[in-house]
A and B are shown apart, each in its own frame.
Chain A
């Protein structure tokens, strides 16, 4: 049942872009005015790769992907381009878009127990996806639902299909959400804080399951999380978001070993560790500015230790950093301190990107 063209990339071969988000902007209708929540986001997901997206609440990490799938409702005004395998899907009509949702692109969410409909049985909810995307009904759908539950590690699948979400634990419900996502045999799974509501040992189970499924099916994964540890553990590449923009993007190793942006550095330093000696945490002063009160230049400048006048002048361009080929950061100051690989502003801009 696998679609042609779906293959697994191990990160070393040249990767084919699956989903490409270009200059995505979102404005929310606040009644009297529009407030911009996303200020032109550019992100690519290659076939089979894991892209981790980190950031604190309100940075835009979830709405980027909800907007890409047209799930933000009519209060959001969206501009920019979202291409799936080269085909523009931003602004697509609902019928065509709904075929992609849960089909080529599936999504799972933070709170699995309230993400399932409380009045329908598990089986009915999975069957619904099977009917939409694979035309399965009746006994065939039941059999496939049972197989999917089995696939995500739920024992007694046939009996479980007849149960309701409230009869299961949060971890089980997240497995069911994953089974439902697999029903459409997606090429891309967007997981929005998939383990945030779960306990540590259950989180480990779900992360293992996602890794295993990805290995077997070759689907790409966008892992949205506020937890640097989860993202570091799972991702091939990481994008860090702040104030509705991507401020740094790199291969996972490069990002955590050699972070460029002061915000990324701050996030890593603010995190207590479980191994190694205990140290005092380095906190980032201040709070995230409200979306309608962003400073004119770099939105992190008011909290930044190394900010200077130049940072307030304009939003810095998203430019290469360091030796790694895929490392970009939106910071004017980081290159002054960087030991190597300085790039003059304006040159070698990441392909396909218009400097802000």
Chain B
């Protein structure tokens, strides 16, 4: 098990390194930060000084090696835009993002799980059809469309809520609901199929034949088994807590990590982009690792890997 986890961590770190490297190269090849930050009308000497200052005049592989050497020493670079530490620039946005993604996650689980379970239990009934219809609508409509529709209804027409900004808690409602609804649709669909799969298993029939009431069969036999595949998708959602709000933050002008990422890419603020990507990679990896450990706790079959007996 320890061996298995170390292997997982190692693979995950390789993945993160690859993501950061790819971003490093692409960002540097796709536009000159000097021009973007100083503006095209700046004098040539200013460009030169800027490039020397940030080490942009060196060959790209030298920049790359220097960058990684610095990362391993804990130096994640400085924002080209305002000269502060990139880590600091990103860190101050994290609480703002979590302020909408955490409630959204809560919303996703509170709507998605019961909806999926209910749909499965009343398969082919009107309840099931209604839930599935809403679910399909929820994840086929892009979140910016849903966000704009909600903004139009609740901000423009009804005037109950502000359409953008982050001054009060009311500003957080629309982005949270938008993300929550989309996520709930995904979870509902996933939970339903996991639940249906489990309900068709012979041990469910055994549990009924043993004399358990249906609600107890569902509670003690069906739900724990259906939870196993559902964990994967929840892990994915937890992994995207920090940076899963790019679109929604942009739509509602919410100054979180997602919006920072969009701006930093547009401005070629290289260090900031790298820090965000690193952060995204690490949270994803952390969430996946947590799911793996939870898997082992929920599913005893994974604790002892079965022998492959061939005949």
Contact with B along A176-208 (1 / 0, CB 8 A): 010010001000000000000000000000000
Cα A323 to Cα B301 in complex, Å, equals 57
Closest B residue to A69 by beta carbon equals B209
From the candidates B211, B220, B224, B306, name the one contacting A101 in the complex (CB within 8 A).
B211
Contact in complex: B209, A101 (CB < 8 Å) = yes
Q: Beyond A115-B203, A117-B225, A118-B301, is A166–B208 a contact (Cβ under 8 Å)?
A: no
Contact with A along B163-200 (1 / 0, CB 8 A): 00000000000000000000000000000000000000
Contact in complex: B211, A117 (CB < 8 Å) = no
| B214 close to A (CB within 8 Å) | yes
Which residues does chain B contribute within 8 Å of A356, judged by CB atoms?
Answer: none
Q: Number of B interface residues at 8 Å Cβ cutoff, please give it.
A: 24
Which residues does chain B contribute within 8 Å of A66, judged by CB atoms?
Answer: 205
Which residues does chain B contribute within 8 Å of A120, judged by CB atoms?
Answer: 220-221, 224
Min CB–CB distance B294 → chain A (angstroms)? 13
Which residues does chain A contribute within 8 Å of B203, judged by CB atoms?
Answer: 114-118
Which residues does chain B contribute within 8 Å of A118, judged by CB atoms?
Answer: 203, 225, 299-301
Which residues does chain B contribute within 8 Å of A180, judged by CB atoms?
Answer: 206, 210
Cα A82 to Cα B207 in complex, Å, equals 22
From the candidates B201, B202, B211, B299, name the one contacting A102 in the complex (CB within 8 A).
B211
Contact in complex: B301, A129 (CB < 8 Å) = no
Which residues does chain B contribute within 8 Å of A98, judged by CB atoms?
Answer: 208, 211-213
Which residues does chain B contribute within 8 Å of A293, judged by CB atoms?
Answer: none
Stretch at the interface among A103-111, A223-231, A262-270: A103-111
Contact in complex: B201, A114 (CB < 8 Å) = yes
| B304 close to A (CB within 8 Å) | yes
Interface SS of B by simple majority: helix
From the candidates B202, B213, B224, B301, name the one contacting A109 in the complex (CB within 8 A).
B202
| B280 close to A (CB within 8 Å) | no
Contact in complex: A71, B225 (CB < 8 Å) = no
Contact in complex: B205, A109 (CB < 8 Å) = yes
Contact in complex: B207, A99 (CB < 8 Å) = no
Q: Beyond A119-B224, A119-B300, A166-B300, is A101–B208 a contact (Cβ under 8 Å)?
A: yes
Contact in complex: A132, B206 (CB < 8 Å) = no
Cα A167 to Cα B306 in complex, Å, equals 8
Contact in complex: A115, B202 (CB < 8 Å) = yes
Q: Beyond A115-B202, A118-B203, is A164–B209 a contact (Cβ under 8 Å)?
A: no
| B298 close to A (CB within 8 Å) | yes
Closest A residue to B225 by beta carbon equals A119
Which residues does chain A contribute within 8 Å of B301, judged by CB atoms?
Answer: 118, 164, 166
Cα A117 to Cα B301 in complex, Å, equals 11
Q: Beyond A102-B211, A132-B210, A167-B304, is A117–B221 a contact (Cβ under 8 Å)?
A: yes
Contact in complex: A109, B306 (CB < 8 Å) = no
| A133 close to B (CB within 8 Å) | yes
Contact in complex: B299, A94 (CB < 8 Å) = no
Cα A101 to Cα B228 in complex, Å, equals 28
| A287 close to B (CB within 8 Å) | no
| A156 close to B (CB within 8 Å) | no
Which residues does chain A contribute within 8 Å of B220, judged by CB atoms?
Answer: 120, 128
Which residues does chain B contribute within 8 Å of A167, judged by CB atoms?
Answer: 304
| A95 close to B (CB within 8 Å) | yes
Q: Which of A103, A115, A167 lies at the interface centre, i.e. has the most chain B CB atoms within 10 A of its CB?
A: A115
Cα A121 to Cα B298 in complex, Å, equals 12
Min CB–CB distance B221 → chain A (angstroms)? 5
Cα A166 to Cα B299 in complex, Å, equals 11
Q: Beyond A119-B299, A164-B300, A164-B301, is A102–B209 a contact (Cβ under 8 Å)?
A: yes
Which residues does chain A contribute within 8 Å of B221, judged by CB atoms?
Answer: 117, 120
Cα A115 to Cα B221 in complex, Å, equals 12
Closest B residue to A118 by beta carbon equals B301
From the candidates B212, B225, B304, name the one contacting A132 in the complex (CB within 8 A).
B212
Closest A residue to B224 by beta carbon equals A119
Which residues does chain B contribute within 8 Å of A119, judged by CB atoms?
Answer: 224-225, 228, 298-300
Q: Which of B201, B208, B221, B306 lies at the interface centre, i.e. has the most chain A CB atoms within 10 A of its CB?
A: B208
Q: 8 shortest A-B CB distances, which residue pairs?
A: A102-B211, A102-B210, A107-B209, A101-B211, A164-B300, A115-B202, A117-B203, A115-B206
Known interface pairs A119-B299, A128-B212; 7 further A-B residue pairs with C-beta atoms within 8 A, sorted by A's residue number:
A94-B214, A98-B211, A101-B208, A111-B202, A115-B206, A116-B206, A132-B210
Q: List 27 A-B contacts (CB under 8 A).
A: A71-B209, A98-B211, A98-B212, A99-B211, A101-B210, A102-B209, A109-B205, A114-B203, A115-B205, A116-B203, A118-B203, A118-B225, A118-B299, A118-B301, A119-B225, A119-B228, A119-B298, A119-B299, A119-B300, A120-B224, A128-B212, A164-B301, A166-B301, A166-B306, A167-B304, A177-B206, A180-B210
